[in-house]
Amino acid sequence: MKKKILAVLLILLFALQYSVSAASSYKSYVYDNNGEDHLAPDAFYFDRNIDLKNMKDDKGKPVGMVAPHDIYAAKDGLVYVSGDNADEEGMVLILNSDFSFNKVIRDFKHTITLEDGKTKEIKDKFGSVTNVFVDSEDYIYICDQNGATKENSDYTVRKNIVNETSGRVIKLTKDFKTEMVICGVTNEILPKDFIFQPTKIVVDAYGRIFILSKGFTMGIMEFDAGGDFIQCIGAPAVTYNPIELFWRAISTDEQKDLMEQFVPTEYSGIDIDDEGFIYVTNSAFEKDTYDDIQGLSKLNAKGNDVLRTLDKNKPYGDTDASWKASLEGPSTLTDVMTVKDDIYAVLDQLRGKVFFYNIDGINLFEFGTVADDPDMAHVNYIEGNLDVPVGIEWLNDQCIIVDKELHCINTYSMTDYAKKIFEASRLHNLDQYDDEIEIWNEVLKLNNNSVVAKQNIAKVYYRNKDYKTAMKYFKEIKDQENYSKAYKYQRQQYINDYFTWALLILVVLIILIKLFKKWRKAHEKERKPKKLLEEIKFSKVVMFRPLNGPWLLTRENKGSPLAATIILIAVSLMSLLQARFTGFVFNADAEDVNILIEFSKICLPVLLFVVCNWAVTSLMNGEGSIKAIYMGTCYSLMPIIYLYPVAILLSNIMVQEEGDFYTVFVSIAIFWVFLLIFLGNMRIHDYNLGMAVLEIVVTVVVMLLVVFLAILFAALIQQMITFVQNIIEEISLR
């Protein structure tokens, strides 16, 4: 009996071990509003693989699709896979919703007009099918990238056709009869050497056709329902390297011709949502051009980008994945997919990952099949890996991905975690906020790093006028804009509830302070003021008499190095307080302050300036000693002590719209400090205005040079340490 129980326990243990290892197919994470990644539960798991190359038709013959280019899931559940066979002939493979074979389209019949006006019906084959789209009326649009020839086109467009290069779009009815063929596109706004090579296509509810063409950098080509070209919309922004732009400005015409031309990049993927907004991806941006190129755009009917994004975390996938040593750099966005409830996703071809976002551009979750090298627990996961994913679609609450290199379709199903996020998003669109907040709280139990859960919970509390709780959640996700909106109403509540009491307390305090001053004056014994205190108070003279103050400070000994050091420490402390206690609306990172760094931000530049200024002025016949320069510089920092407390106070009672007042006080303090340093240097060294400007400029240059040499020296020391460590390790191994 005991052996049977033990056997059952062992079986359960092995079953549990198997389920745990199979449940996690890759390392999942989610980005917060600052662009930092955090571990998260798996949102999808690999479900099944459909081999396209070895799939057989209804007669038992292999379909032979060896190079799929894209995938499309129609409203009726049919799946259209566009691609080529081994002979590089285009084809459209149609699958049922369960991915069983339905039909394959290898050719079509259409009528062309000859030069004598007669018509001729021909049976035609595809060149290379790159994309398929089915509109609301079940018309099938097929992108044949290079299938147009002079022989299979109307005589009216043959002059624009280049054999084996030109492409076309074929419109078929639901029973696969040819309705229209678009080819030989030309227009005065298009380049003279333009060749129509359609790669992607979408059609809106009004029958307008939007096409991406290979090598076309003027955006999306728009056609009317009859196939006539209308315009180009949404051209990607031109990108350039500032250094290259400078060289072009000073180069000759011959040199410019040899340089790379600054032209917009072409779009790589396209999709359209139920409201008619067009989503397009751009795979050309690199890490150093991240802020200049739109990796993803959402275009309205006029072609304007209306995509909502976060400043520090745009919906471009992994913008900096240096943590994965084998795959550095940003994501290569090759396709985009609109899902439902204002959710969309982008496909990262580089890492085989899919990133989901909501309408605000907040990262909901991601999933992918590239094993994380440091995480050996996932290396054994083989099924579901992608090599060159080229298209994504949404079918029956599953994400389906087609891979060109593996000539297969992978399907991925949602976990409970992803289902809860989708359900909460659905309830949000239905304005069922009470039910929504319950689901979001369940999401937080699964993933406390979920930004979207906290933000939507905060918005529900905001709608319910519970501004204090809303502020708490907005602060956790560092959403300063919405925090400011909630605080504005919370502040109004505070004013309504406590204004009278606050005013009464203020009046009483003023009276008590005046009475205390009178009592102190009557009972205070006369005493000789302390010298150090007087030396510190002399900073007021330096502040308000910037020409005479530095002279009296250094030439008549009104100050001292000790007082200057106390002022320097006090200013550093004030800078620390400003960094730590500035209101959240103006400083979201106040709780992450590093004391050493904040002190160094004031002390190190001051000391570096003093030393470099002394070295420079010693060569420029300056009269000030290093002691005088140090004292003059430290005393010039006093405006920070006077104005920063006011700025800190204002930052904690203001909202974003009133932020100019905070900025003014900080700006005045900084400007005042630099003005006092400049005028103080001029008086201490007895320079005229021009000489003082020159001396300051040279000092700044010397400071930059010293910083550069210090960095270089630190790098050399690091290399030496590494070299010694390698030698020691080599000796120990031998």
pLDDT of 327? 61
Of the pLDDT bands very low, low, confident and very high (cuts 50, 70, 90), residue 344 is: very high
Rounded Cα–Cα distance for residues 613 and 619 (Å) = 10
List, for residues 481-527, the tens digit of each pLDDT value: 889 999 988 888 888 888 888 888 888 888 888 888 888 777 766 55
Is residue 1 predicted with pLDDT exceeding 80?
Answer: no
Domain layout of the chain by residue ranges: 29-414, 415-523, 539-717
Question: Is 52 within 8 Å of 80 (Cβ atoms)?
Answer: no
Stronger pLDDT, 547 or 206, i.e. the higher one: 206
How many helices (H) and strands (E) would you count in the chain? 17, 27
The superfamily CATH assigns to domain 29-414 is TolB, C-terminal domain (2.120.10.30)
Q: Among candidates 26, 54, 55, 30, which has minimal Cα distance to 40?
A: 30
Q: How far is CA 478 from the centre of its chain?
A: 15
Task: State which of 6-10, 131-135, 428-432, 600-604 shows the largest mean pLDDT.
Answer: 131-135
Number of neighbouring beta carbons within 10 Å of residue 532: 12
Task: Calculate mean pLDDT across residues 45-64.
Answer: 89
DSSP H stretches of helix in 477-523 = 480-523
Of the pLDDT bands very low, low, confident and very high (cuts 50, 70, 90), residue 722 is: confident
pLDDT of 237? 63
Is residue 608 predicted with pLDDT exceeding 60?
Answer: yes
pLDDT of 14? 37
Task: Calculate mean pLDDT across residues 415-427.
Answer: 93
**497 SS3 class:** helix
How far the first Cα of the chain sits from its last, in Å, is 58
Q: Among candidates 109, 114, 102, 143, which has minimal Cα distance to 125?
A: 109
Task: State which of 16-30, 235-249, 629-643 shows the largest mean pLDDT.
Answer: 629-643
Task: Calculate mean pLDDT across residues 290-304.
Answer: 80
Structure tokens at 251: 């180069």
Rounded Cα–Cα distance for residues 353 and 355 (Å) = 7
Of the pLDDT bands very low, low, confident and very high (cuts 50, 70, 90), residue 291 is: low
Stronger pLDDT, 461 or 266, i.e. the higher one: 461
Out of 229-238, 300-309, 385-394, 480-489, least confident range: 229-238
pTM summary value? 0.78
Question: Is 285 within 8 Å of 293 (Cβ atoms)?
Answer: yes
List, for residues 618-675, the tens digit of each pLDDT value: 888 888 888 889 998 999 999 999 999 999 998 888 888 888 888 888 999 999 999 9
List, for residues 439-474, the tens digit of each pLDDT value: 999 999 999 888 889 989 999 999 989 999 999 999
Structure tokens at 162: 């280049």
Number of neighbouring beta carbons within 10 Å of residue 269: 26
Rounded Cα–Cα distance for residues 348 and 352 (Å) = 6
Q: Phi/psi zone of residue 122: left (φ > 0), alpha (ψ -120 to 50 degrees), beta?
A: beta
Q: Among candidates 72, 195, 178, 83, which has minimal Cα distance to 122?
A: 178
Is residue 367 predicted with pLDDT exceeding 80?
Answer: yes
Of the pLDDT bands very low, low, confident and very high (cuts 50, 70, 90), residue 249 is: low
Stronger pLDDT, 142 or 31, i.e. the higher one: 142
Rg, Å, the chain Cα set = 35
Q: Among candidates 673, 387, 392, 716, which has minimal Cα distance to 542?
A: 673
Out of 239-248, 259-268, 624-633, least confident range: 239-248
Considering Cα of 104, then 106, then 111, then 112, what sign does the dihedral take?
positive
pLDDT of 597? 86
pLDDT of 17? 37
Query: Angle between the 638-651 and 659-684 helix axes, to the nearest 10 degrees?
Result: 180
If you classify domain 415-523 with CATH, what class do you get? Answer: mainly alpha
